[in-house]
Structure 1
């Protein structure tokens, strides 16, 4: 603040500035005629003097009358006493500086000059430190020192002081100025194009370098001129109208990829801009100007794909940086900072910290060695940068990185420093952890018996653990210099190099078994494997490889393969013998079953003849015995037939033919026509597929399933059989043997018979298993076992779903021909 200003100005409550003229005439005419005690020379109190004193007492500004060269206080009004926080007893009748010694240094020279020269002194926003309200305070005053004269006009007898405190107005103006300077610095130093337009005429006040590049103008060409005068081509475009709208409505307007034409050396040139027009408000809320932020995105529009990738990379690079900003006045030590900086130092973002408080939180080991040294270097170079530790109030230690720039005046004297700060604790801890991990990795690698090695992105080996150097008899530097191929057996070198180069080119894992030379010249088999390590951008950063000694295993495997081949040959011989034995057993079963039927036929024949010829001579009991004998022999014959069918299903030749299953179904229906007609049965069917099947087995399969449905009918209802066909994915089949990766065709047989309890669904497919007694339903208990065997012969699955009293469904699942 310039303490020598001669103009007297007073700041009113609404912030306006008014010039005040102080008329010293009353002081000359009235006060000059007062006695030292304030009365008239004759001891009376004239009306003029009383009026003057009352005026002084009631004046809204501070007023004090000083007498003599010692500046003895003759009187002081209440406003002045309030300003200096003194009582009338403390001031009146005493020297001014006896009561206010703190102002003597700055005020006494001015008073003496006024007293001796008789020339009034006007002070504007005069800075002085007063001790009031219990502590020293920096205050600012507008004042007039007016000399008082006796009868001799040439000699002043005193001074009348008129003072108005403007401390709050000055502080507010200073803060506003700092804010405006900070704002201007942010605008001019912003990496984005910014400009300030003032007033409704849109006069250019500020434009940073980026904006000038877009405009293709210099700063001198644009500052102080209307935007429309600089760019008349904008008159026919939308931008002037949008700016006027923002100015009038005080609302922000944003635009993306707006087309604009700017006149330049080569004529009008089309640009694409992302822009924002933001109103700038005064204290009273009125709009005083507009901040224009713009970004030329012409290249983004024309090369959108490339720009999008760059934008993504930029977004990833800047995401989460959480920078704090600060502005330091180097002369005063005052600092302005963002809320984020307070958070970095461990406070709430609303906290306001001084430069000294921040410096005191720096770790003692880093304060002088790093921070102070960097600060002193910045005063010379203009660049301020360091990384140091700070201590929070909870004694936790954090790392910060500060970058700043020093602003010098014309004499190269540093004035201010602007900068950013960020918390890098996580990064530092990661670096420490990475170093710890690397040390552990090297220690672990050196302790392993396996070889551990690394290579750069181009495949050049650059690290070998102790096991490898001990084995080869070469140091890591020797291997790196001479190449690792020198250790590989000559017969394995070419293929090793080929596979290694291919892995590096394709970015795939490297794996190969080759022989490595030991320090004594012996070669041993090693399994070598290397996998690539990627950085954050997905590029290969390095390779990590291992080599495992498999020499003994390799010899063992060779021996094992020889034994496996021998054992395989033995198994082939055993398997052929088993096939021959099974065929003989099947032939035996067939012959036995066939021969067993001959005596049964004779038993049935003789029993029938006896009943026919000797019927009259037989008792009722005898007839019953012969009937039972015939029934038993019939069941025995059926059992032999079913056993023969089951045996054939197991071992018969599996000759597949492309067959229309609709024809198979028709053949079965014709064979069962008498039973179907007798039972009044209804059989409906979907269109069945054409498949490669064993024809006679599928006829038997359909025969057994339909015959069962006709046999196990419900009471008082005609059989209804529905045959359906379709496709299903293996994952939807509720059977253990289903392949979830395959697709199946299914054929289902649904009846309305007696059904069965679901708990018996597995039992019904077993040989000789029945759910009902022989007296209720005839049968041998082999039919469904035959069905299951037939389905298995066709690589399929069979399932049964039963509901007692409602009916049953048998489902056949057959894989598609390409998958079977």
Structure 2
């Protein structure tokens, strides 16, 4: 008998249903089995009946629930453990009634232990016990193992994992977790996703190399592999990386760290990648370096000396050019006081030291003074600087430049010397010559202005030139002069000036600002030129232009009227002119049918010629109407599949194509904006033309090709070299033509062959050209006698 049956038998023989307590002492033969159960390392308890009487509870179970054997054994389970009833009773009843075991993993239950309720977790099995009746369980054996510590440890690990993930995802620095040797992206925070220019769903769970295939050939995959297998941290600053973006591979500078992630057993399970994109910082530093180089070049080019003075210690750093300006060698070592000693004694106190004191208050340092070189030669220098202040507005540092302006000073002296010569020259000129200061007040005017105006020098110096200006021109003159003075723009204005006899004449007044080396306006130099005669001529010319414009307007109206008359003519031609022709054809046909026997052969020939002539005239009217319609048609464009247009034309010409046994080959034609019925007529004319001029003894073959070509490759005047064109070509194997006639064939009524040899009015190709021009396109013809012809249509591609 197996142990479960022994246990069932023992319970059946010795157990007594009693809600409070029963005697469950085992017989001597069962002591070994009971001892085995009681000493089992897992908690075991045997329950009987739907009251779940505790027949046996081993020490391990009693320790789990913190109960004594007296508190549990011989009583209902829920008397000893009332706190578990709500959790456990429904499960026990189901096992007892169904006979099906129940397994629980990490089952959560609150048990009162050590006087306090405690949340616990168990792995357990509820196994039904059967007696003689194998279909009805009489009890349940419970095997339980407490896993509270394992579950709590797992929860703590999960919390730690969540905290770790939160630490990564919420970090202001770019971080990502790469799992396993294949570097699968497990976590990537927002900062890292911004660097990667990817969304989380685009990278999570994917291999790093699959997301960024451009890393192949770069060093980063190798470094990651080394970190994973060596378990050592790797750091690098300003590493160059190429990352794929919207515009292709872009260069980035990265500070990064690869740190191994260790498991409890010390093995490496992944890598934490921390990245800081320092591209902007590195680029800015490089720009600063370039700027410094350019500044150095600029200062060398302008021959400026630079200096940096510590105001508190009087220590000075200066360029080699600075020493040369003061008369020393470029590599001379000088102190601030030695430099100050080179200033001319007359300028040292009155100019330089005064400018220095002013700079300590205003922050701006400026002066022009003389310096004495070691060879006793005197030179002029201009110094400019800026003071930098610390806390409490204490001057700390001064930066500045120095420039040798000896040449300019000498030029100023020469200018003063030549000023007298200038005045003499200006007085001899017939134009008005004058100067004004930076504020616009006249400081000089030549003799011609006095002679013209009759004013005295005193009056002009007092009232200026405004009294000479015509009242109607005065406001404009003043506004233009103020605008020039304010913004430093050249002054140019035409106004009337009053002559001494009271007559006003037109003058063009022009003034140019004269600036100092710093760019500030020092004075204005102006001239006034007599343009009276040319102004009158321009006025007369404008009058004639207006008259001519009126004439063109009348001519345009006449052209509109003529076009209307042409439209009326087209209507008449379409209806009234064709009606008599139809009657001529009808009556001629009837006469031939009814009077054929009475007509002579000559009469029949006359009637046949009359019919042929009327038919040609009718076709000529139709073609003229088509040409006129192509000229004046409304440009109603619609998106059209040209393949459908070609198919429609082939269906209309089906009988002719069949009779001639013609072969038409075609590429796939484009879909574009066209006037549909005109393109149908265009295709019709070109294919009909090819079928008409068939080479002797040949089967007609027409090849229609399509493609694109740059405008620069089109050998026609009017092609835009900057645009792209679509072309459609119609090539045949007909009789061809001499290339010298390629322009002639597109003219109205022009034929290269006798009418008796080939039918036609000579208008068809002229209509084709007009239709193509209606679409801003070009048409070309290439032919070779006896070989064939090719007509090429060029249509601009919409930009």
Q: TM-score range by the shorter chain?
A: 0.3 to 0.5
Q: Structure 1 length normalisation: TM-score?
A: 0.42
Q: Structure 2 length normalisation: TM-score?
A: 0.42
